[in-house]
Amino acid sequence: MKYLDYRRFVKCAVSALTEEIRSRKEGAKIAADPEDVHQLRVAFRRLRAAFSVFKDAFCKKDRKEWKKGIGRCADMLGAARDYDMQILFLETLRRSAQRSPQRAGIKELTESLKQQRAEQQGVVIKAVKRLEKEAVLEKIEDALHSLPLYLKKVKKYVFFEQAEKRIFRNVRGLLEFEAYAECPDDVEHLHAMRIAAKRLRYMLELYNPFFGEKLCSFIDAASGVQRTLGKVHDLDVWTGEILPAFLSKKKNGRGMVCAAEYVRKECIALRRKRYDDFVVLWKQLKRDDVWKKLLRLTGSFSGKP
């Protein structure tokens, strides 16, 4: 078959994301489960990625408006998600602390973060209400029902040539940071590498159905890089931002200061381990020629008849 039903693929991919947002936004408003805020942010980012991948299926003006609205909502959820992760990290660390003063100090620090998280919930509610008020999901879903009919019959080689070029650009974007993979102290570039891996992952997830689900192993590879570097970045934030800001407060008691110092030492040790995990993974991906295999696979689909 020389053609593919591009229209159907776009509708399936985008509608799945709007449904995910609908299923998570109520939970995010009542803070029932931290996972709701997390998955809502992820769905927002994936939807923005979808409008980049499927940009030729939508009106440019509408697409720009939707991406702006979705991006604004995702940004508004960022601080709440950060607090959720920080609280979870401290609760885990508290259970492993050996001394009572350490546990007591960590508990006090956790309570301080919980209070800040509670204050942030108003921003979460505002973000969801803004999404609802602007009827962003409804507008997107209306557009899905009126996608151009010519998209039902798109030449395969044209589509796959475009997909190959886009995936190549994202792989190249990730590999631009390869030189920094063995620079453990280069916080900025390791963080940028994580973002590049995330972008590649989201693109591969969107294209995977078109490639007959043959991109799964490459999605896992990109996800692994994103995940391991994400853990490194979280610990960099602790040692570089959260703890210094906390220790600068004069009103902190001795127990709190000792607990913060304990957390700092644990973060440094854990960060070293998480970075080593990343290096092991990256070297394995390189030995396996994962990115070259990805480009060979996508190239095999783009050959003209």
Here the tokens at position 80 are 């709440």
Shared domain check, 2 and 124: yes
Same structural domain for residues 131 and 164?
Answer: no
Q: Tell me how far apart the alpha carbons of residues 109 and 8 are, in angstroms, rounded to a whole number.
A: 51
pTM of the model: 0.91
Residue 293 is assigned to a structural domain of this protein = yes
**DSSP H helices in the chain:** 6-30, 34-53, 60-96, 100-133, 136-145, 156-175, 187-207, 216-237, 243-247, 254-287, 290-301
CA distance 199 to 5: 25
Residue 239 CB partners (closer than 8 Å, separation 6+): 264, 267, 268, 271
Angle between helices 216-237 and 290-301 (to 10 degrees): 140
Cα–Cα distance measured from residue 163 to residue 202, given in angstroms and rounded to the nearest whole number = 13
Confidence bin at 252 (pLDDT 50/70/90): low
Percent of the chain whose predicted confidence (pLDDT) is above 90: 80
Q: Which of 147, 177, 202 is the last residue of a domain?
A: 147
Over the chain, what is the mean pLDDT?
93
How far is CA 133 from each of CA 44, 69, 82, 137, 144, rounded to the nearest angstrom? 16, 11, 26, 10, 20
At 1, the pLDDT band (50, 70, 90 cuts) reads: low
257 pLDDT tier (thresholds 50, 70, 90)? confident
Q: Measured between alpha carbons, how far is 123 from 220 in angstroms, rounded to an integer?
A: 33
Note the pLDDT tens digit of each residue in 270-292.
999 999 999 999 999 999 999 99
pLDDT score recorded for residue 9 = 93
Within a domain: residue 194?
yes
Q: What is the DSSP letter of 36?
A: H
Higher-confidence residue of 192 and 148: namely 192
User: Same domain, yes or no, for 57 and 1?
Assistant: yes
Q: Which residues pair with 4 in a beta bridge?
A: 154
Question: Which residues neighbour 136 within 8 Å (Cβ) at sequence distance 6 or greater?
Answer: 66, 69, 70
Number of domain units in the chain: 2
**Residues sharing a CB contact under 8 Å with residue 233, sequence separation 6 or more, in sequence order:** 187, 190, 191, 194
> Burial level of 251, CB count in 10 A (0-12/13-18/19+)?
exposed
**281 neighbors 124 (Cβ within 8 angstroms):** no
Cα–Cα nearest to 53, from 221, 183, 169: 169
214 and 249 co-located in one domain: yes
- Mean pLDDT (whole number) for 123-152: 94
Q: 58 by DSSP, 3-state: which? A: coil
> Is residue 283 assigned to a domain?
yes
Of 147, 177, 211, which residue constitutes the final position of a domain?
147
Q: Is residue 76 part of a domain?
A: yes
- CA 108 to chain centroid: 30
- The residue segments making up the domain with residue 74 are 1-147
Number of residues assigned to the chain: 305
Cβ neighbours around 289 below 10 Å, total:
11
pLDDT digits (tens, 9 = 90+) for 15-45: 999 999 999 999 999 998 999 999 999 999 9
Mean pLDDT on 130-153: 93
Domain boundary among 129, 147, 165: 147
Write out the two tokens for 44. Answer: 């927002």
Integer-rounded Cα Rg, in Å, for the chain is 22
In angstroms, rounded to a whole number, what is the distance separating the alpha carbons of residues 16 and 12? 6
In this predicted structure, the answer to whether residue 304 has a pLDDT above a threshold of 70 is no
For residues 60 and 102, membership in a common domain is answered with: yes
pLDDT in tens, 197-228: 999 999 999 999 999 999 999 999 999 999 99
Quick: pLDDT tens for 61-71: 999 999 999 99
Q: Are residues 70 and 210 in the same domain?
A: no
DSSP 4: E
Answer whether residue 305 is part of any domain. no
In this structure, what token pair is assigned to residue 192? Answer: 């940028």
Domain containing residue 123: CATH number: 1.40.20.10
